Structure 1
Amino acid sequence: MNNAKYNDILEIIGHISDFVLDTGAADAALEKMAHALGSDKAVLVRLAEDRRRDIALGSYNISRELIGSILSERENPETFLAHDAHWEAGRVATDSDCKRTAERRGSSAIFRELLRPNGIEHTLLGVIDTSDVHHILLWFHRGPDRRAYNKTDKAFFEALMPHWQRAIRQKLTVDYMDSSMRAARQVLDQSPFGLHFLNRAGRILFSNAAGKTQCGARAGISIRNQSLTFRNRGARAAFDDMLAAVKHGGRKDDPRLQPIMFGKTTGEGSYQLGMRRLKMQGERGSLATRRVIAVFIYDTGKRMELSIEGLRSLYGLTEAEARVCDLLYQSRNLPEAAKILGISINTAKTHLNRSFRKVGVQSQAELVRRLNSQLYIS
């Protein structure tokens, strides 16, 4: 964009609020500005029809990623982006000094005035993206008792730009966090296992859909006073031991942190429960909220079917070995598996030991965890 064309835009921006919209001059000016900025004239008409408003154009070094985020998430059609603009960093044009060089630095009197209660309101209109410097376009609504801008306004606008950048970043950060949390909740709610996040005191911070369903099924697990409770005494004691081990920094090979299995009071199958400590990233928050304890509860009665063929192809198991592993995964013990398959207990042990070697585990508990490894955080 050449300097002459750019100066024309500055002049239009500076005086747009002084035009009468039903005149040909105003219409032509808006048309010219819309074309230069790559915007829609109707957008500018809506903005300019409030004659109490003024436009200020200020520059500040903002990353392209931030500008792209602002524009991609905009809900206001009055936000637009202009390309190929050229402007020195720090220069500001207003309706009083756009015809001047806009290089003189006045006092910050108007900035100090803004700190006191007053009728000035400001809103973000858009951002101009250039090859080196990025600019913010602001509308200032100064109320019914408007006055002309003076030379001290430039210092105010220049002082305001960094605050605008920080405010925009903070809003986008909050928006991203909210969007990420919503997406994470949707993913967790689709998981086939119950998931609960606990603080160090054992109080529930979050439960996914499956976890809530399990606790409401009256099958041995419930929530009382924001804590998990178990009808099975053995499960309750094992859970307390696991929680104590996690709180005191127990390692993954701690026997107390091995997943446990206990029967359901109603329905088929049993529950498999695992626990891990997660370290949250962030600088704020107390120690109680920085470290979160994740509890995984899997209902074997509603498990996803393990494919015998899948076990054979994945681990190189024979069909007999795969069937033994599948029955053990269904919470059957080895004698029960042997009876179901119509083989002797010694033959079942032989299949199991060969499966251990092929899968790379040394015990039945490890085998079940490996087959169900997607449920636990290593």
Structure 2
Amino acid sequence: MAHELTLDEFSGMLGNLYQGPLEDIPWATFLNQLNQYLQSKYVTFILRPPSEHSEGLMVNTTGSSSEVTASYNKHFFALDPFVGLPNRQVVTNSEFLSRVDWEESEFFKSFLEPVGVFHILGADIRTSDGAQCRIRVSRGREDAEFTADDKALVAQFIPHLERSIQIHTQLNRIETERNLYAGAVDQLAVGTIILDEDGKVLQTNRVAERLLQDKDGLKLVNEGLQVGNPRDTQEFRRLVKQALQSQKNNLPSVVEALRVQRPSGKADLGIIVRSVPLSAWNEGKQCPSVVIFISDPEQESSAPQEIVKALFDLTPAEAQLAMLLANGLTLDEASDALGISRNTARAHLRSTFSKTGVTRQTMLVRLILRSVATLG
């Protein structure tokens, strides 16, 4: 039997429960604490129950075996009789099934008994946004059965666990969307750098990271940016300061542009500086305050040829030629790169014009670069 929680103990566990969505392994700290206070063998939280079509997503307390988890996900979930519990109600296996039915079940004999589990306490949580979660607490046959006090202890956390699940779901959705949009910007070969309210770098995408590593017109110095020559850097800092002031004064987003020469002699970088509007309830340090967009004319289009081929109904040879032209090669240079004659290249180009409805090479390049192919 678990000892009664003090107010400080309950407050600490509740804090860890709400901290759970931010942990590397969600809710691991809370689950281990619950396991300790209930003097149980394991605590398992199933965020997504397994099915015939997908494996489950579950978090186990320290000491649980990954092999056991895998076997449940792949096979034993279908035999588990301790499922479909009343929503948000804490029950034990002895309340849900007779002792005879429990001990004679294939699930108990093949899965639980070999790992020393006999008593189980649990609750199912079905949230308003469709999540179906389960929490299970287990003890061995030699351990005491779960008591009414044990059930009451877990029941105190169920409403909070449900809210924490909803927070986790929302954060996960936001993170997924952020990664999707960030990936799209990467595919468009646009560098992005986000600055905080002190003008220090908070985040960069892959294109910007490559440009910073090259140190060719763009450098990171003491968490701040230097662009081009000292005069360019001075102008850049003025634009950043102006954008920060606009944000602090809650003015419409300021957008400024700057062209930066590169020491290597490569084509100039194009830079856009704009303030980031904050929400009405935004607070705290290290908030996104300014975003820098960088275009590099030397960056080649990364549109997959298979996508270009499918979008415009081109042959493989026509798609190859079109991509080389989109990346700045002349027709002669493209024919040399492909190892074909100029006449053959011209024939491919005429066929491509016919299929895409354009009449000039510049129009074809613009069509490809503005299509969804670059997001492929």
| Pair member with larger Rg | 1
Could you state the TM-score of these two structures normalised by the residue count of structure 1? 0.44
TM-score using structure 2 length = 0.45
